[in-house]
Structures are given as structure tokens and as C-alpha cells.
Chain A
Amino acid sequence: METLSYVLQQLINGLQLGAVYALIALGYTMVYGVLRLINFAHGDIFMFGAFTAYYLIAKWDVPIYLVFPITMAVTGTLGFLIEKIAYKPLRSAPKIALLITAVGVSLFLEYFLSLNSLFTPNYIGFPRPFEVTGYELPLFTVTNVQIIIFAVTALSLVLLYLLIYHTKHGRAMRALSHDQEVASLMGIPVDGIISFTFIVGAALAGLGGILYGFAYPQINVFMGIMPGIKSFIAAVLGGIGIIHGAVLGGLIIGVSEVFVSAFLSSTMRDGVIFFILFLVLLLKPSGIFGKWIDKV
């Protein structure tokens, strides 16, 4: 009984982390779908979301129900600008040049924002706008932070699902991920849809940043690197380009990370995640729900 409740408790903690990873992984998977690019800067957009929320809450006392839309708008704009300034001029360049540019954008954001006159490279405490309270259930405890995270993630997933499968923009995005050239022949504004995809992905990453701040209230300009890479792994695990794959992958990665920390050793955590990546790439590179077997 003791063990069972401990395992369940860790499962809840893992799902909490996994939900944040899922939000970031969605952006990766959508961008990869339309542009075939690993947007390395996505983790930094997530970081920027956390910092925006920090400034809104701690410095300017913005009410909590406004923090979410403002942060998402700010990170969405950032995603839009990154695509327009850095990636668009390279649309016809070799694929690796685009990837290196993405790494460059990521490093630029990290080091530019870590200047002492901006965010500074130090850890900053993230102010929660509410007290953390736990609700005792028969086998485990759920905190209000966890409930918020699960609720917000679930809600945004439903909205995203409706957007992709039930709107014109969503249909255009899906068409682009099948074949960009043919899509443009069918009258789909390719550049506009790519920008739109970046905005949606970046807004979700910003949302992830706020939730991450609530759950782990310490933020830093370099905080986006590891969650970014792990979320990409989550997207690969679920099958890159597939929305529900990214969510499942995120949850699996989050739970395994917490389980490894709880039952093995917290220093081995990252190693195990990358071992999972290795196994996926070798055994089924197209991921759990994958369909593009020959693309890898």
C-alpha cells in the first residue's frame, strides 16, 4: 500500500512535468510538420514565456486571468519574428544551413537575454500568484498547481484539435505538411500558413513557460535548453508531425524522468531520456504513431 501510493504520487508528479513537455512538443511537431525543421529556438521561446509571466506578475501586478493571454501574445510575436527574420531568407538554402541558423537563434536569445542589463544569468524566484494547497485523496495528494496544469493543458489541446481539424487554417497546415509545392498550387498562402504555425506553436510554448514557472518556481535564461531538447524527443517518440503523438510522448518522457529520479538517481535522469531517444530512433524512427517510415 505504501509503495503503491508512492508510485501513484510519482506518477502524478510525472504527468505534471509531462503536460508541460507536451505543450512544448506540440510547437516542435507542428513546425516540423510544415517546414521539416527542428526549431532549436523553441526551448528559448518557452523560457521567454516564463520570463514574460514573471514580469507581468511580479513587476506589473497584472491579474492572473490576463497573464495567460498576454504571455501567449508576446511569445507568439517572438515566434513570428524569429521565423520572418531568421528562417524565411533561408527557405531555399540547404537543410543543414537552416538547422544551424536555428541553433544560432537559440544561442543568441540565451546570451542576449542573459546580459546583466536584461534578465541576468542568475536564477530568479518565480512568484506564484496563489498559495499552493494539496488535496488529500485516498492514495495520493494533488496540488492546485497540478490541477491548473492538467486543466490548462487539456483545454488547449481541445482548442488546438479543433483548430487543426475543423478550421480552414488547420486544413491548410495539414496540406502543407503533406506537400508544400502542391499546397501552394492549390492556392494556399504558404508563407502565411508557416507564420501562423510558428505563432500557434510559440503561444503554446509560452503557455508551457507559465505553467512550468508555477510548478518549479525558479527561472533562468538557460532553463529552456533541456526541456526544449526533451520535448523534441517527446515529439519524436510520439511520431513527429502528429499532434496526439506529441502529447503522449511528452507524458511518457515526463513520467519516465520523474520515475528515474525517484527510483534510480536524479543524476541519471537525462541519460535515461537520451537512451529512450536512441531506442526510438533505432527501432521505430517514425515514432509510436508514425507514418513516415522512409523520411528518416
Chain B
Amino acid sequence: MSFFSSAKRFLICSAIAYLLLKGLFLSGLLTQYIQQIILFSFIAILTSLGLNVIYGYTGQFSLGHAAFYGIGAYTAAYLGALFKVDSILTFLPVLCLAGAMAGCVGYVVGVPILRLRDDFLAIATLGFGIFVKVLFDNSDRVSEVLGGSRGFIGIPKIVNLEVAFFAMVFLILVTRNLIFSRYGLFWQCIKDDELASTAFGINTARMKLMAFTYGCVLAGVGGALYAYLYSFLHPSNFDFLRSIDFLIIVIVGGMGSITGTIYAGLLWVALIEGLRIGLPAQVLEFRWVLIPLFLIIVMMWKPYGLLARKESKFLGLGGNG
């Protein structure tokens, strides 16, 4: 059971967080909308964590993360429509399959494109993201259920606090243990110096592919949760800008930091969705003017992100937690 015991502190923290949230949800202080935003922040953290594994830990820059998120969402929604999924028990296998599907696509795409580096990888993943969005837009030609550019409607709302929260906690733990395993060390080694890693005998092609596939699995699970939280999918939810959202969470939080991704994910969702509640529209349109400025300033000040390669002792995510 060393899997759980080594992260005792993190488990205790998440149990407390869960009890607090459950109390808040039951107390009726939070509107339906705020509850949804809170659940969405868990999905954003999960998906961004996938990108952090790909980019933050392994150094493979991807601008198409939303494509895998979308593949997960559409797979889950399609399977749900096919097998009439309507309860948590039947939803869990769908969740796993959606993650597996995104992972498979990530593997197949990763084999050729991970040979590219830096900005060429960026443009290739960006291209893949747009390609997938075009496929979603035309999906009604394959099957009427998928809805094409009208969107996928009628997905049951199954995701509740427990599903979203425990999926996130579980996958954060898995990711943390992977990062501190030999594979995680290989990934970080590749990020620091690919040539030197090859010289040490690390199979860089295989390790990069593994990190990429794993990151895509996380995105797929995040997408499936998204589909069953909002019960409506539209191709525009999975476009280039959404990839940028996840990228901003990873970068602001810090490359190679799970803690950073968690904090930045919460902050991001609070900024983007939460600010909608109180502020008038004239102020809201400034959000997207300030966010890129903030991004540029972070890049000039700390090019590896605010919490790069730091983990919170408090949350117990550090090496010997």
C-alpha cells in the first residue's frame, strides 16, 4: 500500500477539502452555477496536469491539448448515447474508455510528431488541434448523434462533487507517483537535455511518447467529465483558444509543478468564470486584454512559471511527503 501511504498528507488534505466542499454544497449557500464552476475547476486542473506532464516535465511543447480533451468528451458522450449510460456505476467504465481513447489517439499521433522539436512541434500540435476541430464540425456526416456544428445535445448530467473530486485526487496521486518513479526522472532528464539523456541510455523516443500518451489520457478523462457535467458539447469548446487556456494554467502555475497547476487552475477558473457573477459586461471584456499582458509579464519575469519545479510541503506533494 505504499501507493497511498507515501502520500498520506495529501490524502488528509484532500479529505478535509472534500468535507468542506460537501458541507458547502449541502448548506445551500452555493447556487447551481457556482457549484458547476467549482466542479469545472477540478476538470481544468486535471486536464492541465496532463499538459504539465507533456510540457512541464518532459519539455514537449503542445498547442493542441484541447483536441485530446475534446476526443475524450466526444468519446464519452457517444458511448453514453450508445449504451444508455445514466448512472455513476455505468459512467465509470465510460470515463476509463474515454481516457483510453484519447491516449490511443495521442499514441498514434505522437509516434510521428514527437520527432519534431520546439516550435515545429508547436505548429504540428496546433495543426492537429484544428484538424480535430474540423472533424468535430463535420461529425454529423458520420453519425447524426454527434451533432456536427450544431453540437452534441442530451448528455445526462452525472458528474457530481464526488466523481469530479475523487477522479482528480486519484489522478493527481498517480501523476505524482509517476513523476517520482524512474520514468518521471527520465522525462525530466529529457527536458533538461535530450542529447545527454540519449547518451545515458534513455530511450528518448519511447519516454517522450509515454509522457505524451499519459498526458493525453488525463485530457481525455477531463473531457469525459466535462461532457457529463455540462451535458452539451460544441466543437468551439475544443478549439485553439481552449488549448491556450490549459497552457496558461501550466505556465503560470509553473512548469514541472503539480502544486502550481492546482493553484493556477483554481485561480484561472475563478478569474474566467467566477468574475462573470458580479462584474458588469464593460469590465468583463477587459479580462482577455489583461490575461495576455499578464502572460507576457510572467514570461519576462519567470520564464519557467511562478512555481517551477517547486512542490508544496503543505499539500504533501513533495518527494518524501
Q: How far is the CB of B12 from chain A (nearest CB, A)?
A: 36
Confirm or deny: B230 has a beta carbon within 8 angstroms of a beta carbon on chain A. Answer: no
**Interchain CA distance A22-B299 in the complex, whole Å:** 31
A270:B296 contact, CB within 8 angstroms: no
Interface string of B148-162 (1 = CB under 8 A from A): 010000000000000
**Interchain CA distance A30-B61 in the complex, whole Å:** 23
**Interchain CA distance A89-B63 in the complex, whole Å:** 24
B131:A271 contact, CB within 8 angstroms: yes
Confirm or deny: A108 has a beta carbon within 8 angstroms of a beta carbon on chain B. Answer: yes
B300:A90 contact, CB within 8 angstroms: yes
A100:B124 contact, CB within 8 angstroms: no
The chain B residue with its CB closest to the CB of A107 is: B292
- Using known A-B contacts A94-B303, A275-B131, A277-B124, determine if residue A111 contacts B296 with beta carbons closer than 8 Å: no
Confirm or deny: A37 has a beta carbon within 8 angstroms of a beta carbon on chain B. Answer: yes
A270:B130 contact, CB within 8 angstroms: yes
Q: How far is the CB of A83 from chain B (nearest CB, A)?
A: 13
Contact among B124, B134, B247 with A268 in the assembled complex (CB-CB below 8 Å)? B134
Residues of A within 8 A of B128 (CB): 274, 278
Contact among B123, B130, B131, B288 with A107 in the assembled complex (CB-CB below 8 Å)? B288
Interface string of B56-67 (1 = CB under 8 A from A): 000001010000
Confirm or deny: A148 has a beta carbon within 8 angstroms of a beta carbon on chain B. Answer: no
List the one stretch of B114-122, B173-181, B206-214, B310-318 in contact with chain A.
B114-122
Per the 8 Å Cβ criterion, residues 117-143 of B in contact with A are 117-120, 122-124, 126-128, 130-131, 134-135, 137-138
| Contact count band on B | 35 or more
List the one stretch of A191-199, A228-236, A241-249 in contact with chain B.
A228-236
- Using known A-B contacts A94-B303, A115-B285, A296-B120, determine if residue A274 contacts B251 with beta carbons closer than 8 Å: no
A108:B289 contact, CB within 8 angstroms: yes
Residues of B within 8 A of A101 (CB): 295-296, 299-300
**Interchain CA distance A200-B229 in the complex, whole Å:** 49
Confirm or deny: A99 has a beta carbon within 8 angstroms of a beta carbon on chain B. Answer: yes
**Interchain CA distance A268-B138 in the complex, whole Å:** 8
**Interchain CA distance A42-B295 in the complex, whole Å:** 18
Q: Please report the total number of A residues contacting B with Cβ < 8 Å.
A: 44
Contact among A107, A233, A265 with B127 in the assembled complex (CB-CB below 8 Å)? A233
The chain A residue with its CB closest to the CB of B127 is: A274
Contact among B120, B124, B137 with A267 in the assembled complex (CB-CB below 8 Å)? B137
A96:B120 contact, CB within 8 angstroms: no
Contact among A96, A115, A270, A281 with B113 in the assembled complex (CB-CB below 8 Å)? A281
Residues of A within 8 A of B127 (CB): 229, 233, 274, 277-278
A111:B119 contact, CB within 8 angstroms: no
Confirm or deny: A157 has a beta carbon within 8 angstroms of a beta carbon on chain B. Answer: no
B61:A296 contact, CB within 8 angstroms: no
**Interchain CA distance A115-B290 in the complex, whole Å:** 12
Interface string of A135-162 (1 = CB under 8 A from B): 0000000000000000000000000000
Contact among B61, B285, B292 with A99 in the assembled complex (CB-CB below 8 Å)? B61
Q: How far is the CB of A227 from chain B (nearest CB, A)?
A: 13
B137:A281 contact, CB within 8 angstroms: no
B122:A99 contact, CB within 8 angstroms: yes
Per the 8 Å Cβ criterion, residues 270-286 of B in contact with A are 282, 285-286
Residues of B within 8 A of A229 (CB): 123, 126-127, 130
Q: How far is the CB of A218 from chain B (nearest CB, A)?
A: 20
Confirm or deny: A133 has a beta carbon within 8 angstroms of a beta carbon on chain B. Answer: no
B289:A111 contact, CB within 8 angstroms: yes
Confirm or deny: B293 has a beta carbon within 8 angstroms of a beta carbon on chain A. Answer: yes
Confirm or deny: A38 has a beta carbon within 8 angstroms of a beta carbon on chain B. Answer: yes
Residues of B within 8 A of A285 (CB): 116, 120
Interface string of A87-114 (1 = CB under 8 A from B): 0011001111111110111111001101
The chain A residue with its CB closest to the CB of B295 is: A104
The chain A residue with its CB closest to the CB of B129 is: A274
Q: How far is the CB of A43 from chain B (nearest CB, A)?
A: 12
Contact among B117, B293, B303 with A296 in the assembled complex (CB-CB below 8 Å)? B117
Per the 8 Å Cβ criterion, residues 293-311 of B in contact with A are 293, 295-296, 299-300, 303-304
Seed contacts A271-B131, A278-B127; 19 additional CB < 8 Å A-B pairs: A38-B123, A89-B300, A90-B303, A93-B300, A93-B303, A97-B303, A99-B61, A100-B295, A101-B296, A106-B292, A111-B288, A111-B292, A229-B123, A267-B137, A267-B149, A271-B130, A271-B134, A274-B127, A281-B112
B residues in contact (CB < 8 Å) with A: 61, 63, 112-113, 116-120, 122-124, 126-128, 130-131, 134-135, 137-138, 149, 240, 244, 247, 251, 282, 285-286, 288-289, 291-293, 295-296, 299-300, 303-304
Nearest 8 interchain pairs by C-beta: A271-B134, A97-B303, A108-B292, A111-B288, A274-B127, A107-B292, A104-B295, A104-B292
User: 8 pairs across A/B with beta carbons < 8 Å?
Assistant: A100-B247, A104-B295, A105-B292, A112-B289, A116-B282, A267-B149, A271-B138, A282-B113
